[in-house]
Structure 1
Amino acid sequence: MSAPPSVGPAKLTFWTMASMVVGSMVGAGVFSLPRRFAEETGIAGALVAWAIAGTGMLMLAFVFQTLAVRRPDLDAGVYAYAKAGFGEYLGFFSAIGYWASACVGNVTYWVLIMSTIGAVAPALGDGDTVLALVLSSVGLWCFFLLIRRGVKDAAVINRIVTVAKLLPILVFIVLALFYLDPTVFADNFHGAPYSGGLFTQIRGTMLVTVFVFLGIEGASVYSRHAKRREDVGRATILGFLSVFAIFASVTIVSYGILPMGQIAQLRQPSMARVLEAAVGTWGSVFVSVGLIVSVLGAYLAWTLMSAEVLFVAAKDDDMPRFLRRSNIADVPVPALLLTTCMSQVVLVLTYFSSDAFDFALDLTSALSLIPYLLAAAYCVQHARGPARGTQGAGRELTVATLATLYTAFLIYAAGLRFLLVSFIIYAPATVLFAMARRERGRRVFSPTELVIFAVALVGAVIGLIALALGWIHL
């Protein structure tokens, strides 16, 4: 039910925001972890990879916590921080990158749901058949209608779903520990012949660790709805620590059930197949049901956050004015509609993809890296500038520097392929930036912004040529 006109924007409590952080991160990724890690590394590499990812993402969580306190005037964190530090066009890049990442990530959810049901309904295949496409599209638009009813309603539903979906994951961890075979576990420690050296193994896992941690900024992005500003940072840290423990546990215990070569060949969601190997068919069914609940909850949270970024960017005149409109329930309906349409387009493209889930997962991660890098770099800038000499500024500078180095390493680990595909999205999206500038009667680009646009345009052209010649495959 929509809020009456006299009621202001829904104000979110600490626990609601913490559940949004957890709900945003615990989605499709956790259920795909066993296979994605087994394809790249053994236990030793996985432990190092999680140590790196955990430390790096914790630094990033501290960045969002710091900026929420230091700059309470900035809403929709990821976008606002990039704009404050590096200007309007790179702020626009951050908003578009974050938004596009959410849209592509939402598509992975529907593909994985259909693939899960496809285990018992062959007509759905691996989530890439015509029937799967139709059913996914119906689900996508049903969620649009749900969310447009009101932010408060959707946030409360997400909190309930977050609690419900953690149960099968925790049960999986406990049962996997109970059925763990020490011999299999030991054999998987150093990896398999196909996994290469330790650095290669670790690099191969980096994008999937980014994917599962996407949403760490959930409370920051939705900060304008917080009852108390200080709750934003606290919710971010609590959500991160809870989810990190779950993700690392799911990965490591799986190595004690099957040889990693077999895990690497499992159908997604691989967590369901691992538990099936341990306890029988009921284990697969149990996890599959949990996956559907989990993914629908994550889809809800991600759609909320991505629409919010477009809405706030439009309010700051960095997106066209039509995106700043909201309904009586404080829902930015045009931004939500554009988000849903983008997800629909990407969903159609998956029908023509040879490996829709894995490519969409990696592209989701790659698109988020530039927004994360700009936010971390802004925290460095702020600690060395306005916050210099204040209490805690030294610690904040150290944390922000580590977060910046980590996100820069992730861009390197992602490789040129995904950077070029990202430019294919960034360059044409600049039309929205130009529309916003024209609406304000301003020159479209400053000299510096024109150089940045030229780089993005060249990258997009190279990316399109690479796709046409088969150097990059969807």
Structure 2
Amino acid sequence: MSNQKIGVWSLTALVFSSMVGAGVFSLPQNMAQVAAPLAVLIGWAITGVGIILLALCFLHLSRQRPDLEGGIYTYARAGFGELVGFCSAWGYWLCATIGIVSYLVIVFATLSLFTDGPEARIFGDGNTWQAVSCGSLFVWAVHWLVARGIREAALVNLLATVAKLVPLLLFIGLALLAFRLDLAQLDFHGLTLEVPVWEQVKQTMIITLWVFTGIEGAVVLSARAQKRRDIGRATLFGVLLALVIYVLVTLLSFGLQSRETLAGLHNPSMALLMGQLLGEPGKVIIAIGLVISVCASYLSWTLFAVEVPWSAANHGAFPAIFRRQNQRGVAINSLWLTSLTVQASLLAVLWSGEGYNTLLAISSQMILVPYLLVGAFLLKWSWQQTASASGSVSVVQYLIAAGATLYGAWLLYASGLDNLLLSLWLYIPGLLLFWLAKRRSQSKVLNTVTAR
């Protein structure tokens, strides 16, 4: 294991940066497309409570089960067996890699605001050959940076996280000054959507979950933390800061333009709103902020994506080849797997012509089961502690675990049957990989016994 350790501020930056990436810059359009202000308020209230409960689950588990390094995978494995643990790791890894691709797509969609016109389509929606070519160069540049060491990459991410806060806070400040209450109250219940409020709330769930994906970052990198207590602190700090920013960005946007107008904006919609507030310089500020934000989030998610196969391989769920580390303590074969998968996904985007919103939906769907298992594991662990002669668990911990589990189940319901079936198809290739890993592991055991 690497001796490179990450401090609390770098861990907090990794959590915050992994959550606050490209999604926040598209929130005004994404939310207005499916819900009116009332449903958005309810959606954020549910998500805020649910995501804080999930953060508290990570906090309790990091303190009570310090032996389970790696978080998402090891919690599912310890609670529900090797196969379920593998499915959690596979789903999380797919979420991370597809999320990485979405970052590349949205950054070039942003640059298209300045390069494209009626007679020229260069970057388009981030899915042209020019966008994919430039994105591929970025993939391998980050590959080189991460290969140089986890701690160095985390420090770069910390600096980028501080830099991307500036345009977000500037937008919030200007939007507060320009906010029109009468505009926000217009069609407050979303009658023009012709969809009940509760259905609108359901439609916001995948979006709100997507922008919070990454909450587990400090736990995923728990083996790299300088101090165990930093893991829970970093998670809570990152979540609370992100929640405040998300709610303000979304709600203030309804006071700048009508819901129908917001829903029709090109993404990243925040850039167009900033253009309304500051003119062309506003677009440039948001574009720069988004590029910095995406670079930081891309780096964070690459670190997470690399860590999961390495952790799973150490327990025999992934093939042993992914246990290999280079001289700087980086799981180099896991890094190669992630970079090659991102590259292949970029080519698939070019071939299919799909854009950011499709990638968002797929990536969000793959994280639902891993998040549900975190709450379920804490609930099971709490019950086991209560049942044992020497253990006791507070009522608060039970409520946290039960609440997080219900939130995870609600997300599966809200995502819809079609998306759930899609995620099941994406688990099939992973099951083949799991079978291969276990077969090779059993073959080694058999050869050892025969040799004796």
Q: Is the 8 A contact 1:383 1:394 kept in 2?
A: no
Q: Alignment partner of 1:124: what SS?
A: coil
Partner SS for 2:265: coil
1:218: which partner in 2? 217
CA shift, 1:345, in A, is 1.7
Give 1:141's aligned residue.
140
Tell me, yes or no, if structure 1 residue 109 matches structure 2 residue 100.
Answer: no
Mark the CA change 1:55 to 1:419 in structure 2 (over 3 Å): closer, same or farther.
Answer: same
Question: 2-side partners of 1:111 and 1:387: how far apart?
Answer: 48
Aligned pair count? 438
Asked if the contact 2:149–2:330 (Cα under 8 Å) also holds between the matched residues in 1, the reply is: yes
Q: Distance in 2 between matches of 1:409 and 1:348?
A: 34
Q: CA deviation at 1:28?
A: 0.8
Letter in 1 for 2:104: W
Q: Which moved more, 1:386-395 or 1:419-428?
A: 386-395
Tell me: CA distance 1:228–1:330, structure 2 relative to 1, closer, same or farther (3 Å): same
Give the partner amino acid of 1:105: G
Moved over 4 A (4+): 387-392
CA contact (8 A) 1:181 1:257 kept: yes
Contact 1:28/1:112 (CA < 8 Å) preserved in 2? yes
Supply the distance in 1 between the matched residues of 2:246 and 2:135 (Cα, whole angstroms).
26
Worse-matched range after superposition: 271-280 or 202-211 = 271-280
Aligned equivalents of 2:255 and 2:400: distance in 1? 35
SS in 1 for 2:67: coil
Whichever residue aligns with residue 438 of structure 2, its letter is: R
Give distance in 1, aligned partners of 2:366 and 2:16.
Answer: 21
User: Bigger CA drift: 177-186 or 250-259?
Assistant: 177-186
Letter in 1 for 2:161: T
Q: Cα gap change, 1:207/1:381 in structure 2, threshold over 3 Å: closer, same or farther?
A: same
> How has the CA–CA distance of structure 1 residues 442 and 203 changed in structure 2, closer, same or farther, with 3 Å as cutoff?
farther
Q: How does 1:174-323 map to 2 (within 5 A)?
A: 174-194=173-193, 196-323=195-322
Q: Hey, what does 1:129 align to over in structure 2?
A: 128
Tell me, in whole angstroms, the C-alpha distance in 2 between the residues paired with 1:221 and 1:64: 10
Tell me the distance in 2 between the aligned counterparts of 1:438 and 1:307: 23
After superposition, the CA RMSD in angstroms is 1.6
Structure 1 unmatched ranges of 5 or more:
1-6, 444-474
Distance in 1 between residues matched to 2:420 and 2:26, nearest whole Å: 23
2:29 counterpart of 1:43:
no
Alignment map for 1:9-28 (pairs within 5 Å):
9-28=3-22
Specify the SS of the correspondent of 2:308.
helix
SS of equivalent to 2:352: coil
Aligned partners of 2:23, 2:240: CA distance in 1, in Å? 17
C-alpha distance in 2 between matches for 1:375 and 1:127: 34
Question: What residue number does 1:342 align with?
Answer: 341
The answer (yes or no) to whether the contact 2:2–2:330 under 8 Å persists in 1 is no
8 Å CA contact 1:40–1:195 kept in 2: the answer is no
Name the % identity: 38
Matched, 1:76 2:76: no
Offset at 1:24? 0.8
Q: Is the 8 A contact 1:195 1:201 kept in 2?
A: no
Please report how far the alpha carbon of residue 142 of structure 1 lies from its aligned counterpart in structure 2 after TM superposition.
1.1
1-structure distance, mates of 2:110, 2:338? 25
Residue 412 of structure 2 is aligned to residue 417 of structure 1: no
Residue 385 of structure 2 contacts residue 393 of structure 2 at CA under 8 Å; is this kept in 1? no
* TM-score where L is the length of structure 1: 0.90
